[in-house]
Chains A and B, each alone.
Chain A
Amino acid sequence: MPDAPNKANTKQKSWGVGWLIAVLLLLPLLSAGYKVGVLHYALTDALPDDEYSVTVSMRLDGRGERAKVRTFLPVEDSRQKVMTLTPASSAAFRFSESNERDNRVGNWLGTEVSDGTKLGYTAVVRLLGQRFELGPDIEVPKEHAKGLAKYLAAEEAVQSDNAEIVALMKQVQGDRGGARERIQRMFDTVQKLKFRPFSGTTDALTALRLGEASCNGKSRLLVAMMRASGIPARLVGGVVLESGKKRTSHQWVEAFAGGHWVPFDATNRHFAELPANYLVLYRGDETLFRHTSDTNFDYGFEIVRRQVPAERTLTTFPAFNVWALFDRLGLPFTLLQTVLMLPLGALVVVLFRNVIGVPTFGTFLPALIAAAAGETGLFWGIVAVTVVMLGVVAMRAALNRFGLLMSPTLAILLACVVFMMLGTAMVAEHLGLQELTRLAYFPIAVMAIASERFYLIVSEGSTKKAFKHLAGTLLVVAACHLVMNSIAMQVLVSGFPEFLLWAIAANVYLGRWVGVRVVELMRFKAVAAGAGGSHVAAH
């Protein structure tokens, strides 16, 4: 009989473990120290940029006749970079692009346009936030360059020469002091107007008289007052980018001060600044969509935000540059983030399993499900897994009577999982449940393995245990999701992947940790309280 390994052996191993942990903790510090000290890495350089895919979709009933549609395309400037622009339209239309004044216009011209025709474009843009410091010494000049004359003149809906508007401007001392003081006073006045989410056009005077307006009314009034005060000003139209679908466009203002066009949004209180999610579509008092008058017309925006490595990232990290690698391979940045965060997710799972004692479907699965839920969102990821697992129970009940062997049953299970995911997505689309259709995005491999684990426990005759494991898994998925989606963690790990060695060090430690799990505190509480003491003493 071979001898069982003895204790001395174990002790020796744990001595080596201490050194291993020390090395694993030290290496990242050395490497990170070298990168920061010698290569001048900065964590902020690893912060990803936001990239937006903006789809402007229009729909019109052409009734088989000739139709013309035009809208603005995003301009390219110092704060707004258009990566790609793809027009979309049916064959009946001819697309052309033109420049009008400061703006870029897309024209669709169609003959024999049928009802329900869809057209539009998708632009992928990267934006920068903007903030101006308006010094108190910036004067409002008596005379402006000739080219600015049109930004001082009254317009049909911007009645800067109207007595009431001029009176209000004077009342709030919009004509006293430097540019900054004047603008501040007029901005505050307009900003205090009651906001009313009103979709039609409001001219400056109406906004003043009503004392309330939507963004376009407020902006027109602010432009009118600025012009009355002798400050060149213009309207700006665009879309505030937030992931999802919307119909609302937005208007704000630019004033010419100190040699720059400075942005002001009195509706959302942005003074001399513009957030990084304001997409500019046009400048001037324009209408966003123009079309042949007698058609039934509708429009909408769909915005998808994704994180991409900043360009400074690609250039500032020469050592172990995984972004550049993914960039060259044409792989999405989110995949890199997921891959880098998986070891941390697995560590979270280990903490839950070995320190708390939460049962899960294996060690990788909760982390993988959390990664997969990055596509669908945590809530819908959990819904997706739960829906499919309930389907597995139903399938088990239906197939049980046939007494099939295990492997063929599992093969049927996989088919059912596929049907369930696609079926749910179809039904969800039919019912207009946009969120639930994302079930189809859920990686089938992850779902299939989760189903198999779940089924094996159910088939051991323990549905209760299977649901306990499912509940434990989903709890740990939520925890993994929190950690894996934490921007701080992502930035740290993508800038300094060597810190993943710390996760390994933690696992080495946990691999030798013999403490009592939290759930075992409960399980053995009677023993700890001395339950059997008297009996033992009796013998």
Chain B
Amino acid sequence: MWLLTDLAEAFRNRSRYGTLVGMNARNVALVRAYNRREDYLFADDKILCKSLLEQGGVAVPPTIATGEGLRDIPRLLGLLRGRSNFVVKPASGSGGDGIVVVGEADEGGWQTAKGRFMDEAELGRHLAEIVFGAFSNDLEDRILIEERIVPHALFAEFFSGGVSDIRIILLEGAPLMGMVRIPTLASGGRANLHQGGIGVAMDLATGVTFRAVSGGESVLRHPETGGALIGRQLPHWEQTMEVARLAAASVPLGYVGVDIVVDAVRGPLVLELNARPGLEIQNINGRGLRAALAGAGKEVA
């Protein structure tokens, strides 16, 4: 019965849904209208994306190595042997699948960020899975190895067991909406909202947070760490927005989500781009994307 009463309520509020962008509108009026399908690659392939970002002068995490094919794996393992603090990523993975964050080097292997020992054979097997496309829905994929980021103190305060990131959505260079995604223990240290991460909305002009949502409920504090989430000034905000604009301008995508981490030393770095950013950001901000589009002087179908 709750379904029916909810539907009835939704129907009463139907005019207010006009401020929202649904999946159909996103696909037709934003993604399809502003991004060409053949250009998705510039966001979906992390290695390709990174090279475009570097050309555009966007700050990115330093690359240790990239790899292609099974034959490359011994070379990569040799390169990583004894090395600490790096991140292994599939170039075409999505949703954080296949990403391994490595901490200190240890006898014959490494400690992962999740506090587990991983020997060389296991890392080699993981690299092989990446190459075989296990995380990319494709037959093959490439490997990207980057230096591990040390989050800025504010983000470490939000949650220390994983990396928080900032997502800014832009249309033709105009920032529309943003949020910080903070991992939780429940989300397994991942910042993905649908896996239990917390979304925190910020005012794009000032970088001050004003609303936080955890599991569909509005919250004031991190439910696990108790850290205050509202009214916080995000660090290096002007620089963060500049990096987002620069990143969006570096790729031929009109509608784009830019994911940024703020490194303790290097400041804002672009982690990756998304050619089809999701819609949950509207629930985090308590505001529809159409309203934001109107605010930015953009009008879409």
Interface residues of A (CB under 8 A from B): 1-5, 7, 9-11, 14, 354, 357, 403, 405-407, 456, 460, 511-518, 520-533, 535-536, 538-539
What is the bound-complex CA distance between A405 and B125, given in angstroms? 9
What is the bound-complex CA distance between A234 and B208, given in angstroms? 97
B148-187 contacts to A (CB < 8 Å): 172
Query: Can you give 24 contacting A-B residue pairs, CB < 8 Å?
Result: A2-B39, A4-B36, A7-B33, A10-B33, A405-B132, A406-B129, A460-B95, A511-B28, A512-B28, A514-B25, A514-B28, A518-B7, A520-B17, A520-B23, A527-B19, A527-B283, A528-B17, A530-B286, A531-B218, A531-B286, A532-B287, A536-B210, A539-B205, A539-B206
Q: A4-B34, A4-B254, A10-B301 are in contact. Are A524 and B23 (CB under 8 A)?
A: no
What is the bound-complex CA distance between A437 and B252, given in angstroms? 56
Q: A524-B282, A527-B282, A538-B210 are in contact. List 18 more A-B contacts (CB 8 A).
A: A1-B250, A2-B252, A354-B24, A357-B23, A405-B134, A406-B134, A514-B28, A515-B24, A515-B25, A516-B22, A516-B24, A521-B14, A521-B17, A524-B17, A524-B20, A524-B279, A531-B218, A536-B210
By Cβ-Cβ distance, the 3 closest A-B pairs, closest first, are: A532-B286, A4-B254, A521-B10
Q: What residues of A have a CB within 8 angstroms of the CB of B25 in the complex?
A: 514-516
Q: A4-B254, A531-B218 are in contact. Are A522 and B10 (CB under 8 A)?
A: yes
B253 on the A face (CB < 8 A): yes
What is the bound-complex CA distance between A513 and B24, given in angstroms? 7
Smallest CB-CB separation from B203: which chain A residue?
A539
Per a CB cutoff under 8 Å, which of A406, A513, A536, A538 touches B287?
Answer: A536
B128 on the A face (CB < 8 A): yes
What is the bound-complex CA distance between A527 and B13, given in angstroms? 10
Q: What residues of A have a CB within 8 angstroms of the CB of B17 in the complex?
A: 516, 520-521, 524, 528
Whether A520 lies near B22 (C-beta < 8 A) is yes
Q: What residues of B have a CB within 8 angstroms of the CB of A516 in the complex?
A: 17, 20, 22, 24-25
B6 on the A face (CB < 8 A): yes
Q: How many Å from the CB of B221 to the closest CB on chain A?
A: 16
Whether B22 lies near A14 (C-beta < 8 A) is no
Whether B20 lies near A527 (C-beta < 8 A) is yes
What is the bound-complex CA distance between A172 and B238, given in angstroms? 105
Q: What residues of A have a CB within 8 angstroms of the CB of B36 in the complex?
A: 2, 4-5
Smallest CB-CB separation from B254: which chain A residue?
A4
What is the bound-complex CA distance between A528 and B14, given in angstroms? 8
B268 on the A face (CB < 8 A): no
B274 on the A face (CB < 8 A): no
Q: What residues of A have a CB within 8 angstroms of the CB of B112 in the complex?
A: none
Q: What residues of B have a CB within 8 angstroms of the CB of A529 in the complex?
A: 9, 13, 16
B172-216 contacts to A (CB < 8 Å): 172, 201, 203, 205-206, 208, 210-211
What is the bound-complex CA distance between A526 and B129, given in angstroms? 41
Whether A526 lies near B286 (C-beta < 8 A) is yes
Whether B22 lies near A515 (C-beta < 8 A) is yes
B35 on the A face (CB < 8 A): yes
Whether B35 lies near A4 (C-beta < 8 A) is yes
Q: What residues of B have a CB within 8 angstroms of the CB of A14 in the complex?
A: 301
Whether A535 lies near B210 (C-beta < 8 A) is yes
Smallest CB-CB separation from A539: which chain B residue?
B203
B133 on the A face (CB < 8 A): yes
Q: What residues of B have a CB within 8 angstroms of the CB of A528 in the complex?
A: 10, 13, 16-17, 19-20
Whether B286 lies near A536 (C-beta < 8 A) is yes
Interface residues of B (CB under 8 A from A): 6-7, 9-11, 13-14, 16-17, 19-20, 22-25, 28-29, 33-36, 39, 95, 97, 125, 128-129, 132-134, 137, 172, 201, 203, 205-206, 208, 210-211, 218, 249-254, 279, 282-283, 285-288, 299-301
What is the bound-complex CA distance between A17 and B201, given in angstroms? 38
Per a CB cutoff under 8 Å, which of B7, B35, B125, B249 touches A403?
Answer: B125
What is the bound-complex CA distance between A1 and B172, given in angstroms? 13
Smallest CB-CB separation from A514: which chain B residue?
B25
What is the bound-complex CA distance between A403 and B121, given in angstroms? 12
Whether A456 lies near B137 (C-beta < 8 A) is yes
Q: What residues of A have a CB within 8 angstroms of the CB of B172 in the complex?
A: 4
Q: What residues of A have a CB within 8 angstroms of the CB of B28 in the complex?
A: 511-514
Per a CB cutoff under 8 Å, which of B24, B29, B285 touches A10?
Answer: B29
Q: How many Å from the CB of B67 to the closest CB on chain A?
A: 17
Whether B132 lies near A406 (C-beta < 8 A) is yes
What is the bound-complex CA distance between A201 and B23, given in angstroms? 70
Q: What residues of A have a CB within 8 angstroms of the CB of B134 in the complex?
A: 405-406
Q: A512-B28, A536-B286 are in contact. Are A525 and B10 (CB under 8 A)?
A: yes
Q: What residues of B have a CB within 8 angstroms of the CB of A9 in the complex?
A: 33
Per a CB cutoff under 8 Å, which of A514, A532, A533 touches B301?
Answer: A514
Q: How many Å from the CB of B146 to the closest CB on chain A?
A: 23
Q: What residues of A have a CB within 8 angstroms of the CB of B300 in the complex?
A: 7
What is the bound-complex CA distance between A406 and B133, given in angstroms? 8
Smallest CB-CB separation from B251: which chain A residue?
A1
What is the bound-complex CA distance between A76 and B286, given in angstroms? 76
Smallest CB-CB separation from A535: which chain B residue?
B210
Whether A405 lies near B210 (C-beta < 8 A) is no
Q: What residues of A have a CB within 8 angstroms of the CB of B34 in the complex?
A: 4-5
Smallest CB-CB separation from A459: which chain B residue?
B134
What is the bound-complex CA distance between A516 and B21, given in angstroms? 7
Smallest CB-CB separation from B216: which chain A residue?
A526
Q: How many Å from the CB of A455 to the closest CB on chain B?
A: 12
Whether A523 lies near B24 (C-beta < 8 A) is no
What is the bound-complex CA distance between A4 and B37, given in angstroms? 11
Q: How many Å from the CB of A404 to the closest CB on chain B?
A: 10
What is the bound-complex CA distance between A230 and B137, given in angstroms? 83
Q: What residues of B have a CB within 8 angstroms of the CB of A524 in the complex?
A: 17, 20, 22, 279, 282-283, 288
Q: How many Å from the CB of A469 to the closest CB on chain B?
A: 14
Q: Which of B7, B23, B251, B299 has the most CB of A within 10 A?
A: B23
Whether A533 lies near B22 (C-beta < 8 A) is no
What is the bound-complex CA distance between A518 and B23, given in angstroms? 11
Per a CB cutoff under 8 Å, which of B19, B29, B33, B283 touches A526?
Answer: B283
Whether B286 lies near A527 (C-beta < 8 A) is yes
Q: What residues of B have a CB within 8 angstroms of the CB of A5 in the complex?
A: 33-34, 36, 254
Q: What residues of B have a CB within 8 angstroms of the CB of A539 in the complex?
A: 203, 205-206, 208, 210
Smallest CB-CB separation from B286: which chain A residue?
A532
Whether A517 lies near B133 (C-beta < 8 A) is no
Q: What residues of B have a CB within 8 angstroms of the CB of A514 in the complex?
A: 22, 24-25, 28-29, 301
Per a CB cutoff under 8 Å, which of A2, A3, A512, A525 touches B6?
Answer: A525
Q: How many Å from the CB of A54 to the closest CB on chain B?
A: 48
Q: How many Å from the CB of A6 to the closest CB on chain B?
A: 8
Whether A405 lies near B129 (C-beta < 8 A) is yes
What is the bound-complex CA distance between A511 and B250, given in angstroms? 30
Q: What residues of B have a CB within 8 angstroms of the CB of A533 in the complex?
A: 286-287
Q: How many Å from the CB of A408 to the closest CB on chain B?
A: 10
Q: How many Å from the CB of B151 to the closest CB on chain A?
A: 25
What is the bound-complex CA distance between A518 and B4, given in angstroms? 12
Q: What residues of A have a CB within 8 angstroms of the CB of B132 in the complex?
A: 405-407
Q: What residues of A have a CB within 8 angstroms of the CB of B9 in the complex?
A: 525, 529
What is the bound-complex CA distance between A180 and B206, given in angstroms? 97
What is the bound-complex CA distance between A79 and B282, given in angstroms? 69
Q: How many Å from the CB of B201 to the closest CB on chain A?
A: 7
Smallest CB-CB separation from B97: which chain A residue?
A460
Whether A4 lies near B208 (C-beta < 8 A) is no
Whether B10 lies near A517 (C-beta < 8 A) is no
What is the bound-complex CA distance between A530 and B13, given in angstroms? 10
Q: How many Å from the CB of B296 to the closest CB on chain A?
A: 14
Q: Which of B33, B39, B218 has the most CB of A within 10 A?
A: B33
Q: What residues of B have a CB within 8 angstroms of the CB of A406 in the complex?
A: 129, 132-134
Q: Which of B29, B252, B283 has the most CB of A within 10 A?
A: B283
